[in-house]
Amino acid sequence: MKTLTIGLGSYTINLSYAGSDKPEELDQGIRDTVMGIRRYILAAGLGLVKMKTGQHFIDLGFKNMTAYVLGLCKSTKTDRSTIYNWLKIGETYLKYREELEKIGFTEADGPSKLVHLERALQKAPKDEVFSNLISMSLRKFKDYVRSDEAESVEAVKDWEIRGNILYIDGRRAIIINGSLDQKIIDMLLAAMRASCRALEREGKILVVHLNNAEELRRFARIAKRERRKMRREK
């Protein structure tokens, strides 16, 4: 079998292991690939930061970073949220580089956890957060960050939507640009109302993306039935 390799800086992944029938060789190849992917994510994030801060996108014909990201998504068939997550990883790594190097954080510890680092630092002591960053898996670190996030939100008692403006406690909270398409405005207004009603009742919100009106109707029926069932079981 012809050997296929991918180079990531000084790191090279040999992809020929996929054709092996030896368990040890297959296992090692999988592990090496996972490590390579993690290095690639961090490298991509740092590259995006440099592209943004140096405004190199201008030399490539893009008027701003958003336009560059959209072009990158289109040419690489990558989801926009993924690109922005990589950018966030790069920015967070550079911002906390000294602390990360002090605790010995490497790609092996999971660069994707860096997306959630700043939120963790807002809710817990610094030493605790960085210790968990090293010791926890990505899933556990995300759960740790979110553990009491919803409970910490104060109930909204006074809210009002006037035109395209949401007021909370008499202060302007969100302004929707009136030049947007009316369907977009209506959707945003509906989302604001739902959010405020949930906050008013100290409830929670689950955001679900559905592809069309038929999916919405079917999902709404199922959701209402399950909600009634859950409340009866309390």
Ranges of each domain in the chain: 5-146, 159-233
pLDDT of residue 133: 92
Band the pLDDT of 143: cuts 50, 70, 90: confident
The secondary structure of 4-15, three-state, reads CEEEECCEEEEH
Mean local confidence (pLDDT), 140-148:
82
Q: What distance, in Å, lies between the first and last C-alpha atoms of the chain?
A: 60
Say if residue 100 is exposed, middle or buried (CB neighbours under 10 Å; 0-12, 13-18, 19+). buried
Nearest to 190 by CA among 164, 215, 157, 209: 164
Strands, E, within the chain: which ranges? Answer: 5-8, 11-14, 159-162, 165-168, 171-175
CB neighbour list of residue 212: distance below 8 Å, 6 or more residues apart: none
pLDDT of residue 22: 77
pTM tops 0.75: no
Least confident interval from 33-42, 84-93, 132-141, 190-199: 33-42
Mean local confidence (pLDDT), 143-153:
63
pLDDT of residue 226: 85
Of 24-33, 36-45, 126-135, 160-169, highest mean pLDDT: 126-135
pLDDT of residue 159: 79
Mean local confidence (pLDDT), 193-217:
81
pLDDT of residue 145: 87
Band the pLDDT of 206: cuts 50, 70, 90: confident
What separation in angstroms does the CA of 169 have from each of 199, 201, 203, 224? 13, 15, 18, 31
Nearest to 199 by CA among 191, 208, 211, 209: 191
Q: Which two tokens stand for residue 64?
A: 């701003």
Mean local confidence (pLDDT), 27-51:
81
Share of the chain above pLDDT 70, in %: 83
